[in-house]
Amino acid sequence: MSSKLVQPINQPVVLVTGAAKRLGREIALQLAKHGWRVAVHYGSSEQDAINTIADLAVNTKAQSENRGENASKAILFEKFQCDLSDEAAARALLPQVIAHFGRVDAVVNNAAIFEHDAASSFSYSAMQKHLATNTGAAIVLAQALHAHVAERGGYGAVVNLLDQKLWNQNPDFLSYTLSKAALEAANTMLATALAPQVRVVGVAPGLTLTSHMLSDDKFQELHKLSPLGRSSTAQDVADTVRFALENRSITGTTLLVDGGQHLMRFERDFSLMDVSK
């Protein structure tokens, strides 16, 4: 059987922030599986980023071999470290990715700080910390992508990871929620300001992955709390991100991927809920 050489220059490039682990990693793997070259951003989890890069390369090689193709060495996945809370560093990130790959076609703003505060413990510093990473960096990267796409020609897309809690608010994680609410508002403004070169779409998962604040049993119980009897999985969210990136008709809106959890009333954040009641 004859084999053909994959031409990587024609493959789109996506920057996924927070792609070293958890949901960002799943998004990176899903996009790579469907032909995207991936810039894996990380903050401090360098070894996780290295592991993700290795898995991206292995998966891509296996897929190429299954199709009878030779995977070109020029098809690269690369890691990029950046403290997104630092504006100068955030502004330098996309140019670094462009310099490595030669182009960038999309940005997935997945990285986020998620630290607890409430009305009683709220502070300027907590709000500013969340806003810088969760909101400001996403806007800066969208701005940079627009400038890049406008210069080279063509079109681009930005996907901002949000949260179903914006449609089902509770008093927990006040600064985090404010930062995501600001980003959701920015979706509309950026979609208008950056059109037609760049589309901007929100993806809002429900409870998707467990954390140190949840036992496995509690997570499983909470995951079932939705009209559909299940919330989102990492695969569900990754599939939706890919759909948003590749569907040229969507902009200025948010896709809720949560099994309908936003339709229910939760008095507390999932991590603080008592499921025994």
Q: Kindly report, residue by residue over 16-37, the tens digit of the pLDDT.
A: 999 999 999 999 999 999 999 9
Q: Please tell me the predicted confidence (pLDDT) of residue 75.
A: 55
d(CA 157, CA 221): 36
Q: Is residue 75 part of a domain?
A: yes
Q: Is residue 50 part of a domain?
A: yes
Q: Is residue 23 part of a domain?
A: yes
Summarised one tens digit per residue, pLDDT across range 104-134 is 999 999 999 999 999 999 999 999 999 999 9
Residue ranges, the chain, pLDDT below 50: 1-8, 65, 68-71, 73-74
Q: Is residue 180 part of a domain?
A: yes
Provide the CATH number for the domain around residue 234.
Answer: 3.40.50.720
Owning domain of residue 73: 4-272
Q: At what angle do helices 174-194 and 137-152 cross, to 10 degrees?
A: 20
Burial of 229 from C-beta contacts in 10 A (0-12 / 13-18 / 19+): exposed
Q: Please tell me the predicted confidence (pLDDT) of residue 211.
A: 84
Q: Please tell me the predicted confidence (pLDDT) of residue 62.
A: 53
Q: Is residue 277 part of a domain?
A: no
Q: Is residue 126 part of a domain?
A: yes
d(CA 263, CA 227): 8
| Domain count of the fold of the chain | 1
Instruction: Pull the structure tokens for residue 63.
Output: 């897929």
- The number of beta carbons lying within 10 Å of the beta carbon of residue 73 is 7
Q: Please tell me the predicted confidence (pLDDT) of residue 60.
A: 74
Q: Is residue 109 part of a domain?
A: yes
List all residues 6 or more positions away from 180 whose beta carbon is below 8 Å from its beta carbon: 112, 134, 135, 162, 163, 165, 166
Nearest C-alpha neighbor of 143 from the set 113, 179, 112, 109: 109
Q: Please tell me the predicted confidence (pLDDT) of residue 64.
A: 54
d(CA 99, CA 236): 32
Cβ burial 23-56 (10 Å sphere, 16+ → b, else e)? bbbbbbbbbbeeebbbbbbbbebeebbeebbeeb
